[in-house]
Amino acid sequence: MTSEEGRRNLSSRLGIPDGNEPMTTTVHPITKASGRKVKSPAFNVEAVRADFPILKEKVHGKPLVYLDNAATSQKPRVVVDALMSFYTEFCSNVHRGVHELSERATRAYEAARVKAQRFLNAREAREIVFVRGTTEAINLVAASFGRANLRAGDEVLITAMEHHSNIVPWQLLTEEKGARLTVAPINDRGELIFDEFEKRLGTETRIVAVAHVSNALGTVNPVARIVQAAKRVGAVVVVDGAQAAPHLKIDVQTLGADFYAFSSHKVFGPTGVGVLWGRAELLEAMPPYQGGGDMIRSVRFEKTTYNDIPYKFEAGTPNIADVVGLGAALDYLRELGFERPAEHERALLAYATQQIEKIPGVRIIGTAREKAGVLSFVIEGVHPHDAGTLLDQEGIAVRTGHHCAQPVMERFGVPATTRASFAFYNTREEVDALVRGIHRVKEMFA
């Protein structure tokens, strides 16, 4: 293979456009390893599983049953390959180089931005800021938008089902500003009580910050309705999309929110990178979050001027490799299509709910009418950590604990739950294994 052919192969795999081709057009094919026809009419879960090498692992001598997708999801081979390609074929810093490798790295990095734009249906690629993850995205909004716009007496309104990452940054901000953090309650199913939410909206409400999907309960929040209500009082809406991005079709223009955050590692991409989407006019008006290289236009000791968005918010060398990996993950999802995997997941959650509900002494925590991906439960007389340890002996990976949502645990009067969380590569047989595992746990504690 000539070096030119090699370059073209690489380009097509990673979505690096050749020459003058626009960056939005290249979508690489899903792994050939599975031999799967991407556009086949039925969702072939076994073929999809073949794209994820780790799913063949054995744990304690048993086949891995990976039901901890809400914590982090597994990666298809194309994502691992993209990381490998970056480090073995075009590792270089971005934006500042004139040499070929730097240009390739920059093209792949910026192509990933366009892929993220498309994934969220954002209006413009410059509205996409690469950060470390959802946590950093929310901290960025709090530290930059929040500090610049919040005054003493103002309010930030959140819900009672938030992850700590969508609570603590607002606590830090409101404490600093002499502002108030208010919380809209949830009902016994784990749904936002909308009337109560509306009652807490007032002219003092500057920011509304809500999870699109709760990580502890699986509840899907009515974000479009929340935005409409928030806009009536002129509040800015920040959406924590960490658990929505792996399961729902996201369209930030339709949702109407102002900021949307998600993490790469939950959408089958690498760890260490995430996306903050923000409306261009808001991002433009916001002060920088961190100072350093790349975020400046010119630096003088007397006065520094800042770069355009999104670079104003990307100080220092970014996580180039993992951004490229995220690009590969978003391509993978696009090729997979949305509807059939989503339908498979919905059916799986319904099946798991039905099976687990039937087990005497098991209580599901979070029974909202609209749910995605998550099944939290407690087993009478068994601490969730013991349940998790025993399930692990069967090769079943679930998460136990407070899931970084201690106020949710308090609301339901439990110290912790066992949480099974699903991805499109999970199967009914895996749900059956979980159900058998729960029976075994109960027998041990009988």
Min dist. Cβ of residue 140 to ligand PMP (A): 12
Min dist. Cβ of residue 361 to ligand PMP (A): 28
Site mask for ligand PMP (CB under 6 A), range 225-264, x = bound: ---------------x-xx-------------------x-
Is residue 91 annotated as a catalytic residue, yes or no? no
Q: Is 76 in the site for ligand PMP (CB under 6 A)?
A: no
Cα-based distances in Å from 216 to 236, 243, 445: 25, 10, 25
Q: Which positions ≥6 away from 410 have C-beta within 8 Å?
A: none
- Are the C-beta atoms of 398 and 360 separated by less than 8 Å? no
Catalytic option among 193, 280, 404, 414: 404
Min dist. Cβ of residue 401 to ligand PMP (A): 11
Q: Is 163 in the site for ligand PMP (CB under 6 A)?
A: yes
Structure tokens given for 161: 């089902």
- Among 165, 182, 367, 376, contact with ligand PMP (rule: CB under 6 A): 165
Min dist. Cβ of residue 42 to ligand PMP (A): 31
Q: Is 134 in the site for ligand PMP (CB under 6 A)?
A: yes
378: number of Cβ within 10 Å: 21
Select 240 or 314, whichever has its Cβ closest to ligand PMP: 240
Binding segment for ligand PMP (CB under 6 A), chosen from 103-111, 129-137, 290-298, 330-338, is: 129-137
Separation of CA 218 from chain center: 13
CA dist 373 and 194 (Å) reads: 22
Select 135 or 367, whichever has its Cβ closest to ligand PMP: 135
- Among 16, 65, 211, 409, contact with ligand PMP (rule: CB under 6 A): 211
Site for ligand PMP in 261-290 (CB under 6 A): 263
* Long-range contact pairs involving 314-317 (C-beta distance under 8 Å, separation at least 24): 314/129, 314/130, 315/288, 315/289, 315/290, 315/291, 316/290, 316/292, 317/93, 317/94, 317/293
Task: Look at residues 406, 434, 440 and name the one whose alpha carbon lies nearest to residue 420.
Answer: 434
Q: Is 68 in the site for ligand PMP (CB under 6 A)?
A: no
Select 102 or 171, whichever has its Cβ closest to ligand PMP: 171
Min dist. Cβ of residue 247 to ligand PMP (A): 12
CA dist 55 and 49 (Å) reads: 7
Q: 374-379 and 362-365: which strand pairing? A: antiparallel
**Number of residues near ligand PMP (by CB under 6 A):** 13
Binding segment for ligand PMP (CB under 6 A), chosen from 158-166, 276-284, 299-307, 332-340, is: 158-166
- Are the C-beta atoms of 30 and 51 separated by less than 8 Å? yes
- Among 76, 133, 395, 407, contact with ligand PMP (rule: CB under 6 A): 133
Buried b (16+ CB within 10 A) or exposed e, 348-370: bbeebbebbeeeeebbbbbbbee
Q: Is 215 in the site for ligand PMP (CB under 6 A)?
A: yes
Binding segment for ligand PMP (CB under 6 A), chosen from 5-13, 133-141, 372-380, 390-398, is: 133-141
- Are the C-beta atoms of 328 and 28 separated by less than 8 Å? yes
Binding segment for ligand PMP (CB under 6 A), chosen from 52-60, 84-92, 127-135, 337-345, is: 127-135
Select 327 or 437, whichever has its Cβ closest to ligand PMP: 327
Cis peptide bond prior to 22, omega within 30° of 0: no
Q: Is 205 in the site for ligand PMP (CB under 6 A)?
A: no
Cα-based distances in Å from 136 to 13, 62, 68, 139: 29, 37, 22, 5
Residues paired with residue 186 on neighbouring β-strands, in sequence order:
192
Q: Is 307 in the site for ligand PMP (CB under 6 A)?
A: no
**Beta-sheet strands, E only, within 77-136:** 128-131
Q: Is 423 in the site for ligand PMP (CB under 6 A)?
A: no
Binding segment for ligand PMP (CB under 6 A), chosen from 162-170, 194-202, 385-393, 412-420, is: 162-170
305: number of Cβ within 10 Å: 9
Enumerate binding residues for ligand PMP (CB under 6 A).
133-135, 163, 165-166, 211, 215, 240, 242-243, 263, 404
Catalytic residue positions, numbered = 404
